[in-house]
Amino acid sequence: MPAYTFGPVASRRFGRSLGVDLSPETKQCNYDCLYCELGGAKSVDRFTQIAPIEGVVADVKAALARHSIDAITLTANGEPTLYPHLDALIDRLHALKSEAKLMILSNGSTITDEAIQSALLKLDRVKLSLDSAQAETFKKLDRPKGVDLEQMIEAMAVFRKRFTGELIIEILVVAGLNDTEAEFDALSNAIGRIQPDRVDVGTLARPPAYAITGVSTDRLNALAKRITHPCVQVIAPPASKQQERYSREEILATLRRRPLSQQEAEALFDRPTLTLLADLLKARAVERTESGGEIFYTPAKNP
């Protein structure tokens, strides 16, 4: 499978989603979050390796011809809104998507840019991260490059007033950093200003870039209750039931985007695909790693 996309993944909220990776070759992000599943990397404020827009569109078109898709999700090995052709790409994808929803997963940092807001207004769903509403914690946890937290929160609130689609705020909780009542009281105030459609509260589900740990589901539930918003949900690890046939290249492309737990792989892949995965393990093109007592599949570092 071409690097610009990774195969359809089942989502309990959005159905079958086709992820479109706008930075397939290397991580390019203006954050270096401690919990990042993509590994650590120096933060940047622009893409220097740019996937050609025609290649991205062609790959999405080919994937849509093969799979039944409920949503097309713009993401990246980093931050997708740093992709310089984002606005034009969204226009092109609208022409292809048919009934599928078009959405983006963003860290929210560039929402202060009018051009970015204008591009995101064309989407059906926008999911933005907000791990802390306190500047000191924000800097320690997300390690941003050139991002003013207060300006970002205010811009999210402005965007909400303009956006007619579904806006979701995502909070990822890390033990010892943003897992206190004070942190969530501040987050509740910020979310009250933003007024999203939904707030997702989760914790580490995959191996993080740095030596940190998540919190228990009980703790997530307790913290989530401090957010005075009508729609707050605690996110448990995904458990897909729809199994798909993947090629060798599609397996590797998916794992390059993010590690899959053994449970996720068994839920996502059909039997022939699991056999291919076993062959890739034997060929040392894929590795098994352990994190938090769970097995994950990752691309081999030196295949």
Three-state DSSP string of 268-283? HECHHHHHHHHHHHHC
Contact 201, 227 (CB under 8 A): yes
Contact 285, 279 (CB under 8 A): no
Count CB atoms within 10 A of the CB of residue 29: 27
HEC string of the chain equals: CCCCEEEEEEECCCEEEEEEECCCCCCECCCCCCCCCCCCCCCCCCCCCCCCHHHHHHHHHHHHHHCCCCEEEEECCECHHHCCCHHHHHHHHHHHCCCCEEEEEECCHHHHCHHHHHHHCCCCEEEEECCCCCHHHHHHHHCCCCCCHHHHHHHHHHHHHHCCCEEEEEEEECCCCCCCHHHHHHHHHHHHHHCCCEEEEEECCCCCCCCCCCCCHHHHHHHHCCCCCCCEEECCCCCCCCCECCCHHHHHHHHHHCCEEHHHHHHHECHHHHHHHHHHHHCCCEEEEEECCEEEEEECCCC
Contact 206, 261 (CB under 8 A): yes
Q: What is the per-residue pLDDT for 269?
A: 85
How far from the centroid of its chain's Cα atoms is residue 86's Cα?
16
Tens of pLDDT along 205-233? 778 888 899 998 889 989 999 999 988 98
Q: What is the per-residue pLDDT for 3?
A: 44
Q: What is the per-residue pLDDT for 10?
A: 37
Contact 298, 255 (CB under 8 A): yes
Total residue length of the chain: 303
Contact 173, 201 (CB under 8 A): yes
Alpha-carbon gap, residue 50 to 25, rounded angstroms? 9
Q: What is the per-residue pLDDT for 9?
A: 43
Contact 206, 37 (CB under 8 A): yes
Alpha-carbon gap, residue 241 to 248, rounded angstroms? 21
Domains and CATH numbers, the chain: 5-236 (3.20.20.70)
Q: What is the per-residue pLDDT for 279?
A: 92
Q: What is the per-residue pLDDT for 159?
A: 98
pTM: 0.77
Q: Nearest-5° angle of CA 121, CA 129, CA 122? A: 10
Contact 130, 190 (CB under 8 A): yes
Instruction: Sort 245 into a burial class: Cβ within 10 Å, 0-12 / 13-18 / 19+.
Output: middle
Residues contacting residue 293 through CB under 8 Å, at least 6 positions apart: none
Pick out the chain residues at pLDDT < 50: 1-3, 6-14, 237, 239-241
Cα-based distances in Å from 283 to 7, 48, 91: 22, 33, 41
